[in-house]
Amino acid sequence: LYRATFTYTYTIPSYTGSPRVIDLGAPVYTMSYNGTVKSVTAPAKVGVIMKGAPFYAEVKNEDIDTFETPNSANGAAYELRKGMVDYLTGMTGDYARLASGLWVRKTSISTYTSKTTLNPKITSAIYRTGPKWDTLKLAYPSSLAATATFDGSKLKVNISAASSGVIPALPSNSPFSSVTFAKNGHVGQYVLTLKPGASIEGYYIEKVSDGIIVHIKRPVRASMGEKPLDGITIMLDPGHGGSDTGATGPLGTEYPEKKINLENALLLKEELEKRGAKVLMTRTTDVYVSLSDRLTASRNAKPDMFLSIHANSMAENVDISQIEGFSAHYKEAIAKPLSQALCNAAAAAGRRNRGIKWANFYVVRGTWAPSMLIEVGFTPNPTEFEILTDKAEQKQLSMKLADAITEYFSGKR
């Protein structure tokens, strides 16, 4: 027997009439050879979803990831909340495509057809300011799916299928100078533009029974005195742990990355608490914590800053003596200034500054606070491994990082 590949092209019929979903059934593959006939039915059906068909996807989990393509290789794009609904326009493999163009895992949604169409009108928009969080309440009768993005100057709120929007009145003390609404393809988009010199330090969408609330975080400021970080909450996330050792260096699993991460985190916790901060930890001992649990901890706590602490590795085919240094990784624009401040602090502690880098790491996807992942050095490099495991060097780095965090919250950016 020899392996062979056969292909067949099938043109989907063109359908007219009322928008609907047409089930074409599962393909049946039949082969015959010397009088022997074998047939196999495909594990999935083929169908047509006509444009505008009342075929819907509803989020059934508390928080789900969306993707730009039907796979998770490049990381998630946005989150959707339980109960949000969008038109379903396609399926392939384990993924379903929403009308917004985003893909979701089939296991995270319920699908259904209905004679009732989504109501695309936003009936009210109210912006309220608060001491720490502002809110934008957008009311609409259908549970339309919504996402938000921030590029450093504009906060964009995208609402699937929304055709018209009410413009909210902006209080004079809001950080935004203007707000607009426009139809952008399938979505209705609000754009809130920051005032010159203004900033925000977090945002997220909450689904409520009659629409959504966009929570917008005002800059958090340090106070004067011996405890400048009093009232500020920081979450530290020592990477790896338990059965997940992380990268290894000259001592192998006797002194792996997970141990270096925890030592650095505990020292930084001590320095931040000296300055008055409330410090939360995703782990304080050598235990395994999943990436999902780490992000969930951040989401639930909504800290003023989230910092994941790691040590780096490298490919086996490079000169390990030539690769060293500290780097900071971020996904959201709100985390870029603090990422740069941490890199500068590492340089002040005598570490090589490899700079900041954009990365879609799982734990830094939180939009409710500046969320970063730092790599304090390369464990395989023997020279740098000595620095990474030296208690005095660890202490020096933790002090410089705590100083930089304090300066950041003092408005020195």
Q: Which residues pair with 313 in a beta bridge?
A: none
The yes-or-no answer on residue 384 being catalytic is no
DSSP helix/strand/coil, 46: coil
The closest alpha carbon to 129, from 162, 159, 174, belongs to 174
The secondary element (H helix, E strand) that includes residue 271 is helix 257-274
As given in the structure block, the two tokens for residue 275 are 């300055």
Question: At 128, which amino acid appears?
Answer: R
CA distances for 330 relative to 90, 142, 367, 375, angstroms: 32, 34, 11, 12
Distance between CA atoms of residues 206 and 393, nearest Å:
43
CA distance 202 to 129: 14
- Determine the Cα–Cα distance for residues 184 and 159; give it in Å rounded to an integer: 10
Kindly provide the residue ranges of all beta strands, DSSP E only, lying in 195-325, ordered along the sequence.
Answer: 202-208, 211-217, 233-238, 278-281, 305-312
Beta carbons within 10 angstroms of residue 83's beta carbon: 14
Catalytic option among 375, 386, 393, 407: 375
Entry field: residues in the chain: 413
First to last CA, the chain: 69
What are phi and psi for residue 125, nearest 5 degrees?
-145, 120
226/20 Cα distance (integer angstroms): 67
Rounded distance between C-alpha atoms, residue 388 and residue 398, angstroms: 12
In 3D space, the residue among 210, 190, 222 whose CA is nearest the CA of residue 411 turns out to be 222
Please answer whether residues 400 and 272 qualify as being in contact, where contact means their C-beta atoms are separated by less than 8 angstroms: no
Distance CA 57, CA 50 (A): 15
Q: Sign (positive/negative) of CA torsion 78, 82, 88, 91?
A: positive
d(CA 13, CA 278) in angstroms, rounded, equals 62
Pairing of strands 103-105, 95-98: antiparallel
Bridge partners of 412, per DSSP, are none
Any idea which residues carry the catalytic annotation?
Answer: 375
